[in-house]
């Protein structure tokens, strides 16, 4: 739902190198821009099961020069892990359950039926 993502490919389910998807992000204008590569790690956890240091370290270890990571989770990132990302300046964007809900609402998908129809269409 970010128009600056112009390439995003799911990796295979096993032996994926610790990434669930890889892609390219356009930074700049249509006439003058650069592409940044990113890796996505997705964790479908319950709201009571946090993403910890182990999962985050796996994503960070896969990032190369001029890349950034995106961690998407249906739960949340524990405080220690989040603080380490901030303190160490890792280029990781975190999208937790509350962020996913906000993105869906912002795109007119706040009702279950609309969300299911959108998911079937994509």
SS3 60: helix
Rounded distance, CA 32 to CA 62, Å?
A: 28
Under 8 Å CB-to-CB from 82, ≥6 apart: which residues?
94
Render pLDDT for 3-41 as a digit per residue (tens, 0 to 9): 899 999 998 776 655 689 999 999 999 899 999 999 999
Render pLDDT for 36-78 as a digit per residue (tens, 0 to 9): 999 999 999 999 999 999 999 989 998 988 899 999 999 999 9
pLDDT at 122 over 90: no
The CATH code of the domain at 5-121 is 3.40.1350.10
| Domain locations along the chain | 5-121
Quick one: pLDDT at residue 15?
A: 61
Question: Cα–chain-centroid distance for residue 40?
Answer: 5
Of 26, 30, 28, 20, the residue nearest 7 (C-alpha):
26
Question: Cα–chain-centroid distance for residue 82?
Answer: 14
């Amino acid at each position: 739902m970010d128009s600056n993502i112009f390439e995003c490919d799911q990796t295979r389910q096993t032996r994926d190198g610790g990434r669930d998807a890889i892609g390219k992000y356009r930074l700049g204008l249509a006439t003058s821009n650069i592409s940044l590569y990113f890796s996505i790690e997705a964790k479908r956890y319950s709201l009571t099961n946090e993403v910890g240091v182990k999962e985050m370290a796996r994503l960070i270890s896969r990032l190369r020069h001029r890349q950034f990571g995106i961690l998407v989770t249906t739960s949340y990132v524990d405080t220690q892990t989040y603080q380490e990302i901030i303190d160490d300046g890792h280029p990781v964007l975190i999208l937790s359950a509350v962020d996913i809900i906000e993105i869906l609402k912002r795109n007119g998908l706040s009702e279950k039926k609309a969300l299911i129809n959108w998911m079937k269409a994509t």
